[in-house]
Amino acid sequence: MTTAFYEAEGEIGHVVLNRPDRLNAINGALLADLDRAFATANADPQTRAIIFRGNGRAFCSGDDLKEFDIQSQNADTIQRHIHAIQEITHRIMRSDKPVVGAVQGYAVGGGFEWMLNCDLVVAADDLVAFFPETEWGHFVTGGVTHLLPRAIGHLRAMELLMLGERQTADALHRMGLLNRVVAGPDLLDTARGLAAAICRKSAFSISRLKRTLHQDLGSELWRALDIEERITLEAFANPEADARVQKFLDTKKPRA
């Protein structure tokens, strides 16, 4: 089964996470499939706007901790995994095509970070988003160390990143991190409506607007991605992370 795919719908392209049985948790296969899906969407001349969404009950529940041993086998596998995560941010943010996130259920860790990379975000009212990295001894990715303080201020960003508290759709909307909050059944239609409205605008103007706004983020964003990658590599190699992840997994095992 393809763990992420691209499909065209007229001028709207869909990039879809497709591990619903694992709440679209991130593993190596998903990263490779997602990279191909975004590459195809960005190269498709018919596609004017992209909807980024997840199949099933969640958008993306973050790293698949059941595969932590595979991801952290050695320095090379860790680096490839982390670099592949950061490359998705490049695919989203360096594309001339606007990306509309359509998120529901869980957007955790890397899933939350990818959501924040989108140009517009529509959320179902059941959305729960948080950063678990400090709990697991990991480190955030997706450029959020640069993007989040700019979006909501230094103190609030530190609170979200350090404490890792669960945030509802309404709370995120009040912070200015979501454009719309809708009932679950209306999520995809609302995202389609925003994407369709974009498609009716000038493709030249939209692409240059996105490019200019992202240039305004400056080289600091790309520098932040590099720093996050380096620190996350250190975190994965730290024995504390392995112990914390194992402790978390132990709490999830069914009791006899």
Question: Catalytic residue positions?
Answer: 113, 133
- d(CA 200, CA 120) in angstroms, rounded, equals 16
- d(CA 61, CA 55) in angstroms, rounded, equals 12
Amino acid at 159: E
CB half-sphere exposure, 39, CA atoms < 13 A: 7
Phi-psi region of 153 (alpha: psi -120 to 50; beta: other; left: phi over 0): left
By CB atoms closer than 10 A (0-12, 13-18, 19+), residue 215 is exposed
106 neighbors 23 (Cβ within 8 angstroms) = yes
Helix or strand run (H / E) with residue 14: strand 12-17
Pairing state of beta strands 99-103 and 120-124? parallel
Helix or strand run (H / E) with residue 99: strand 99-103
236 neighbors 68 (Cβ within 8 angstroms) = no
Q: What is the CA 56 to chain-centroid distance, rounded?
A: 16
131 neighbors 140 (Cβ within 8 angstroms) = yes
